């Protein structure tokens, strides 16, 4: 296999957000999936990487990909987390994942993107997951906060989540909640992700203040604390969206 072909395959395999994490379904029978890559981008090469990603994603080849694609900048993380960006591919259903890993053809845009990935990007984690409960309006919101949970009783946790989402809906202006399951590649002990999205950080903080002191939150925490554990949390903002039309 040539160097170009190996690099082309690597694009498809390695090119993630939290966000977002939101999909639009054709009907209730279809189940969406996402693949997110947590990456560390060299500060000196971030501009070149994003520009080459832009060029590739705006090419005719990338426009044929069956995914909504987002690039997020990580703003908040702990000392053990070195990722700076998250690149996500969101598929409408399982069929869209049939050719995952085959890689795009070695077009000029793809070759340049591969060169910048090789030079500036370190891949820290690749995760396959699926949204269980989500609001498609979250696709247009920039800020995201992702809680990583280990859940012992998924059905009861999901039921509590649905009630919490309903009870807090009046406080959720320009914001959404989502619950996602981890299928492969998650950190040790992580089974689910709680995703909160808002138009910006300020809106997220205001909504958080209101909901944290609400009866809905108190009931949710009382039901889920015995059956779940927070393993990690990070936050960021979406800086690029592709194939959204």
Query: How confident is the prediction along the chain (245 residues), in pLDDT tens digits per residue?
Result: 333 344 444 443 333 333 333 333 333 447 899 999 999 999 999 999 999 999 999 999 999 999 999 999 999 999 989 999 999 999 999 999 998 986 556 899 999 999 999 999 999 999 999 999 988 778 789 999 999 999 999 999 999 999 999 999 889 888 999 999 999 999 999 999 999 999 999 999 999 999 999 999 999 999 999 999 999 999 999 999 999 87
Final residue belonging to a domain, choices 131, 158, 191: 131
For residue 94, give both structure tokens. 């399982």
197, 218: one domain = yes
Q: Are 125 and 201 contacting, i.e. CB atoms less than 8 angstroms apart? A: no
Same domain, yes or no, for 89 and 100? yes
Indicate which CATH number applies to the domain containing 162.
3.30.70.100
Strands 33-41 and 121-133: antiparallel
Number of domains in the chain: 2
Euclidean distance between CA atoms 224 and 227, whole angstroms: 5
pLDDT value for 179 = 97
pTM of the model: 0.84
In angstroms, the Cα distances linking 162 to 70, 120, 122, 132, 137 are: 26, 41, 37, 10, 17
The reported pLDDT for the residue numbered 135 is 82
Range of the domain at 221: 133-238
Q: In whole angstroms, how far apart are CA 125 and each of 79, 90, 181, 227?
A: 16, 16, 16, 26
**How much is the pLDDT for 181?**
97
Q: How far apart are CA 101 and CA 89, in angstroms?
A: 12
- Judge if 127 and 218 occupy the same domain: no
The whole-number pLDDT of residue 32 equals 93
Q: What is the pLDDT of residue 101?
A: 83
Question: d(Cα 233, Cα 193) in Å, to the nearest integer?
Answer: 9
Do residues 197 and 138 make contact, with C-beta atoms less than 8 angstroms apart? yes
Question: Hey, what are 178's tokens?
Answer: 């989502």
Strand partners, 198: 143, 175
Mark whether 106 and 160 lie in a shared domain: no
Instruction: Say if 244 falls within a structural domain.
Output: no
* Residue 144 and residue 61 in one domain: no
Of 131, 163, 196, which residue is a domain's last?
A: 131
Contacts of residue 64, Cβ cutoff 8 Å, sequence gap at least 6: none
């Amino acid at each position: 296999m040539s160097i170009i072909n190996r690099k082309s395959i690597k694009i498809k395999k390695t090119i993630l957000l939290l966000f977002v994490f939101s999909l639009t379904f054709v009907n209730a029978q279809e189940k969406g999936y996402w693949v997110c890559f947590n990456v560390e981008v060299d500060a000196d090469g971030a501009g070149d990487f994003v520009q080459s990603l832009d060029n590739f994603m705006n090419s005719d080849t990338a426009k044929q990909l069956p995914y909504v694609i987002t690039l997020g900048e990580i703003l908040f993380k702990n000392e053990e987390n070195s990722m700076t960006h998250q690149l996500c591919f969101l598929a409408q259903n399982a069929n869209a994942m049939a050719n995952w890993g085959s890689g795009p053809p070695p077009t000029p845009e793809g070759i340049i993107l591969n060169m910048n990935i090789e030079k500036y990007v370190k891949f820290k984690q690749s995760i396959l997951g699926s949204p269980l409960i989500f609001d498609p309006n979250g696709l247009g919101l920039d800020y995201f906060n992702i809680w990583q949970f280990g859940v012992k009783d998924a059905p009861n946790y999901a039921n509590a989540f649905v009630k919490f989402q309903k009870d807090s809906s009046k406080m959720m202006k320009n914001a959404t909640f989502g619950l996602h399951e981890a299928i492969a590649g998650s950190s040790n002990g992580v089974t689910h992700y709680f995703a909160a999205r808002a138009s910006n950080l300020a809106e997220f903080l205001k909504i958080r203040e209101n909901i944290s002191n609400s009866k809905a939150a108190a009931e949710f925490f009382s039901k889920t604390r015995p059956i779940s554990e927070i393993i990690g949390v990070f936050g960021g903002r979406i800086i690029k969206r592709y194939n959204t039309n």
